[in-house]
Amino acid sequence: MPSIPLVAELGAKSDEFQDLLNKSKIPATVAKKSRIIMTPEELFSEQDSRIFVRCRPIIPHDNEAMGNKSIVQKVPDHRDLILMCPKVSLSGDCSIEPSVVSLDGTFCGAEDTTERVYFESCSPLVNFSVDGATTCVLCYGQTGSGKTFTTSGIFRFVTEDLAPYFNTHDIFLTVVEIQASKNVDLLTGNEVQVFEDVSGELKLQGSEPFECSSAEFLHAAFEEAASLRTTKATDRNETSSRSHMITRISIVSKESRWAKPGDFFIVDLAGSENTADSATHDKTRQVETKFINTSLMTLKDCIRSRALAGTSSQHLHIPYRRSPLTLLLRDCFEIAVRRPTKTVMIACVSPLLRDSRHTINTLRYASLLAVTPPAKVIAADPDDPNNFSREQALDFLYDISKKMLTDPEAVLPEGDGRTLVHIPEGEFIRRVMDTHGTIGEKKAKMIYTSLWKRVVDARTKGRKVMTNAKKLGKGPRCAK
């Protein structure tokens, strides 16, 4: 990435830089370095993670003397970004130096609509999610760069593409706001705790997935939740988001109800701010800014570690448990995952010269995600009760009880192995004793202990497989 002048230099020479930018053109030698665009299908056939940049148009609110040129440009039908970077020589001379930033796609100005952004960057993710994968669209960038505008538009198009599936799938919506002091379910108002349970599943305690009966209902619920998000005015944006908003659409097949659902995450990250941006904030706002920047730094650390892990034979720790934000998005960072995952990061940047430092920092960290290798999908362990079908779960209950549970369906009236594992101990023992009069509390506890011994053994085995896959870059039980 190119270096750029200090904020003071940009301010002192802003008129001169702007005049140079307005007169600048992309040199043919630079244009030749930019690569031809690829279809989204082609992009995702090679990698799990892709990075795009969207540069918003110049608007009246910018309150700056501007020409018709942005510092972010592109060659038509090419995917790489051309950064018109301001430079100051040792003698104090100003110049604009074009450089190519390698990306998977660049969207500039008003002509690149949100519809185009969606269809060229992340439209295939809907089908991946319907098939049971975890997919994620992250919008990252400075305050006022258009993240919320972009995520809202993308959600609208995702909703439209999901419309045909409402007859064959149950679709649930969860919208969680991650604030400095707490996490809130915006659909219910409940406080939410984010953690991993004993089987490694991600849990949102306090959150209630909202079942949606139609595409229209899904979109209306999202709009209602988004309207309740915490916002405050900043120097750059009158309605700046002071929290991260994570939207999860869960898609469950009606025909295979016990199959693991597909998840589609849309993440509108809080805007990053530097010290100068927050200098006039009160104490509360400074706490918010510190929280935002700390959680974004954790996100950057996860992205950086994920990129380095793909090029190193050594085990590298990916610190996604440091923040509820990254814990929720853990599948985007892991080298080895339990189901397929696809991630799109849309780096939202400003066209303004004064924001050059923000823009270059956004591009620097976002580009790390673009070079990461595909994650290794670890095949489901057939010995793990979490992965049992309903028939297997019933047979398993019969076997571990030494044939004492003559009616296992009375203990597990519905569901599969995952449902069985998540029955609380007291409830499990009560069901056994109520439905099998010859089995006392001691024997019922022994059956429950046998169940959980198998769960713990499978979890230990799974950790070893995941660790080996991360260290070696491949796993002996990787699904194709």
Query: Three-state SS for 106?
Result: strand
Rounded CA separation 432/438 (Å): 10
Q: Is 92 annotated as a binding residue?
A: no
- Angle ∠(96,100,104) on CA atoms, nearest 5: 140
47 close to 345: Cβ distance less than 8 angstroms = no
Task: List Cα–Cα distances, 114 to 102, 351, 469, in angstroms.
Answer: 21, 17, 38
Distance of CA 94 to the CA centre of its chain: 39
Q: Is 144 annotated as a binding residue?
A: yes
Q: Please give the single-letter amino acid code of residue 201.
A: E
Q: Is 18 annotated as a binding residue?
A: no
Q: Is 142 annotated as a binding residue?
A: yes
Distance of CA 139 to the CA centre of its chain: 9
Q: What is the DSSP letter of 78?
A: B
C-alpha torsion sign, points 93, 96, 102, 104: positive
Q: Is 295 annotated as a binding residue?
A: no
Rounded CA separation 152/133 (Å): 22
Q: Which residues pair with 176 in a beta bridge?
A: 185, 246
Rounded CA separation 141/223 (Å): 22
Q: Is 470 annotated as a binding residue?
A: no
Q: Is 148 annotated as a binding residue?
A: yes
Q: Is 200 annotated as a binding residue?
A: no
Bind-site residues: 141-148
Bind-site residues for ATP: 141-148
